[in-house]
A and B are shown apart, each in its own frame.
Chain A
Amino acid sequence: MLSFIFIVLFALPAVLGLYFNIGQQFAEAGASLTTDAYVRFALPIAAPLLPAVAIVIGYAAIAREGERGSLKILLSLPYTRGELLAGKFVGRSAITLIPVTVGFLTTLLVLLPSEIEIAWESFLLFALATMAYGVVFTAFAIGLSAALKTARRAMAASLGIYVYLQVFWSNLGAGLGNLLSDHANIGEVTQLHVELFVSLLSPIAAYRTLVQEILQGSPIRSRLLLTSNPQVTCEEMLGGTLEVTQAGAECTNAALPPQYGTVAVIGYLLLWLVVPLVAGYYVFENKDL
């Protein structure tokens, strides 16, 4: 069932692009149609949908077993609570990854014989980033499942946080920047720092900007997409020159501070895996079943 959804999710755009040539509008002007067009098409679908799927897969993992009592049977066997949590994480991650993988493989099967050129590097990096993204949200849901008493609460908490990230987080950075600017008299550059940094702490934004980076080939260009004022960000904050080309804004001669670099953003994304698992483990380890 999940595999089917993911085939539809990932392979359908490819099929559409192939047969109806819709993909052309996602291709960069003048360039030939490659799988990058497919990635552009799939990103806005995968970014909001995959977390929801991963949460559905993970939220009940431990909380429901606790509620129903099968946890007592598991923990009567020679397993510690930590091992149980680790096992659930591995198992549920696999459940998330199998349909994602099947989706990508189907896409490849559809695209291989077509005239769309496969840009292997960006396609595989996109697949890898998407898998990591799915695992991050699975871990997030499992962490909450381990910490909370009922599956219902785990679902409400994980979906609630997800909706918050999806709907409100993008405004949080800008809003916080404005607030500090109005009341704490911070400069425009500091305001943009706040905005960009806070935005990147969302796993959804982190994933999106990493995929943009794969497509754009430049971390700076993809980070600029996250700020409300690309010109000031480029020229005042990063010390570059903003050139608007046909392909979009380009910031030349700029240096990206390490906290916005690729490694840092991957780190922010992985924080959403590590923190829920560690916190979930801590609560689970110390609670009465």
Chain B
Amino acid sequence: MAAIELDGVTKQFGSLTALQGVDLTVEEGEIFGFLGPNGAGKSTTINILLDFVRATDGSATVLGHDIHEEPKRIRARTGVLPEGYDVYDRLTGRQHLSFVIESKDADEDADELAERVGIADAIDRKAGGYSKGMQQRLVLAMALIGEPDLLILDEPTTGLDPNGARLMREIIREENERGATVFFSSHILGQVEAVCDTVGILQNGRLIAKDSVAGLREAAAGDTVLRVTLSDGDGTDDAVAAIEGLDEVSTVTADGTTLTVGCDSDAKMAVLNAVEESGSEVANFETEEASLDEVFAAYTEQQEQEQPEVDA
């Protein structure tokens, strides 16, 4: 049985389409990274899984239960770190933990949980005085209560320092080894790569890829972004045409005298030579590590060439 199964899930907010026919299966025991730029629809997907938001079309099950018919049974077996939550300012960390332990009929010890997420010394302070990172750790601890079969974590490293992010990854691995399925979203490629078995990429409300981490890395590795500034704008069109003629180049866009070129990492000299040959003078150039958006762009194009539609 799949831990999470989405079938043609579509969500419209008024005239805005947030999700468009998303099909997705997350197998039991997997660590699934849900990747996408801000606004791609990751949180909407998670909110639909948690029955916070109702899908316009399509259906979904979590742990075998229909998300709308049996949300309570899902919640009883799921630990959640939602996005855009707020803790209860006037309650202490211990009161938060105790409330969840009671609600889930669990028998964890609040002190041990606090220890595990690194807020042991703050457990009796009011959560309103916690930093964002501490609140994040507290809500993570709340999600771990009751040994859930599924952890749904929405941007779990938000507000965490590098140590916190590392702790988060350790806990994700530990929980997975215990047998839990972990579904977490992120817009940061590195975090997903570090712990995930499988990655799904969401863009503009569509699932554009579902792949292993190795497959993703391969797709991402190819591209480097080169920004070339010309000394004057007259020859821009010729320069663009010249660059487009190169095999190693995947994308070229011009903005005034600045050309943004996506190309293989060893094609820099070829690009610069092509510009010079077209008659323009290079005033400046810089290379950039591919941002996630650009990786997505590269990945999407490649996917479209190889297989127009992804059945995840």
Least CB distance from A62 to B in Å reads 14
B103 and A78 contacting across the interface, CB-CB below 8 Å: yes
Shortest distance from the beta carbon of B124 to any chain A beta carbon, whole Å: 19
Contact with A along B66-89 (1 / 0, CB 8 A): 000001110110111010111110
| Complex contact B54–A288 (CB within 8 A) | yes
**Mask: chain A, 254-289; 1 = CB below 8 Å from B; 0 = not:** 000000000000000000000000000000001011
Whether A75 pairs with B50 at a CB distance below 8 angstroms is: yes
Q: Is B47 an interface residue (CB 8 A)?
A: yes
Contacts of A68 in B (CB 8 A): 86
Given A68-B86, A69-B84, are A76 and B75 neighbors across the interface (CB < 8 Å)?
Answer: yes
Nearest opposing residue in chain B for A286, CB measure: B54
Q: List, in ascending order, chain B residues with CB within 8 A of A75's CB.
A: 50-52, 75
B104: Cβ under 8 A from any A Cβ: yes
Known: A73-B139, A77-B104. A289 touches B76 (CB 8 A): no
CB <8 Å contact, B53 and A78: no
Report if A70-B85 is in contact (Cβ < 8 Å); known contacts: A76-B80, A78-B75, A288-B52: yes
CB of A152 within 8 Å of the partner chain = no
How many residues of B sit at the interface, in one of the four size bands?
A: 20 to 34
* Cα-based distance from A77 to B143 in the complex (angstroms): 9
- B142 is an interface residue with CB less than 8 A from chain A: yes
B104 near A289 with CB under 8 A, answer no
Per-position binary interface string of chain A over residues 102-116, scored 1 when its CB falls under 8 Å from any chain B CB and 0 otherwise? 000000000000000
**Given A78-B104, A79-B72, A80-B72, A73 and B87 contact (CB-CB distance below 8 Å):** yes
Query: A289–B103 contact, CB under 8 A?
Result: no
Closest to A287 in B: B54
Q: Which residues of A contact B72 (CB under 8 A)?
A: 78-80
A286 to B55, CA, bound (A): 11
B75 in contact with A70 (CB, 8 Å):
no
Question: B208 contacts the other chain (Cβ, under 8 Å)?
Answer: no
A79 to B100, CA, bound (A): 11
Q: Which residue of A lies closest to B13 (CB)?
A: A288
Using Cβ atoms and an 8 Å threshold, which residues of chain A touch B104?
77-78
B75 and A77 contact, CB distance less than 8 A? yes
Contact check, B142 vs A73: say whether CB atoms are below 8 A apart.
yes
**Which residues of B sit under 8 angstroms from A76, Cβ to Cβ?**
50, 75, 78-80, 82, 143
Q: Could you say which residues of chain B place their CB within 8 Å of the CB of A72?
A: 50, 52, 80, 82, 84-85
Who on chain A is nearest to B83 by CB?
A72
- Structural contact, B88 and A79, CB atoms closer than 8 A: no
Chain A residues in 8 Å Cβ range of B84:
69, 72
B residues 134-181 in Cβ contact with A at 8 Å: 139, 142-143
Q: Please, how many angstroms separate the alpha-carbon atoms of A137 and B299 in the complex?
A: 58
Q: How far is the CB of A151 from chain B (nearest CB, A)?
A: 13
Nearest chain B residue, comparing its CB with the CB of A70:
B86
The smallest C-beta distance from B10 to any residue of chain A, in angstroms, reads 14
Of the candidates B52, B71, B80, B86, the one whose C-beta lies within 8 Å of that of A289 is B52
Q: State how many angstroms separate the Cβ of B278 from the closest Cβ of chain A.
A: 53
- B86 contacts A78, CB within 8 Å? no
Chain A residue with Cβ nearest B75: A78
Closest to A289 in B: B52
Instruction: State the Cβ distance, B15 to closest chain A Cβ, in Å.
Output: 15
| CB-defined contacts of A79 to chain B, threshold 8 Å | 72, 75, 103
Cα–Cα, bound, A76→B49 (Å): 11
Q: Which of B52, B84, B104 has the most chain A CB atoms closer than 10 A to its own CB?
A: B52
Q: Given the complex of chains A and B, what is the CA–CA distance between A250 and B32 in angstroms?
A: 79
In angstroms, how far is the closest chain B Cβ from the Cβ of A68? 4
A283–B171 alpha-carbon span in the complex (Å): 38
The 7 A-B pairs with the shortest beta carbon distances in the complex, nearest first, are A76-B80, A69-B86, A78-B76, A72-B82, A68-B86, A288-B53, A289-B52
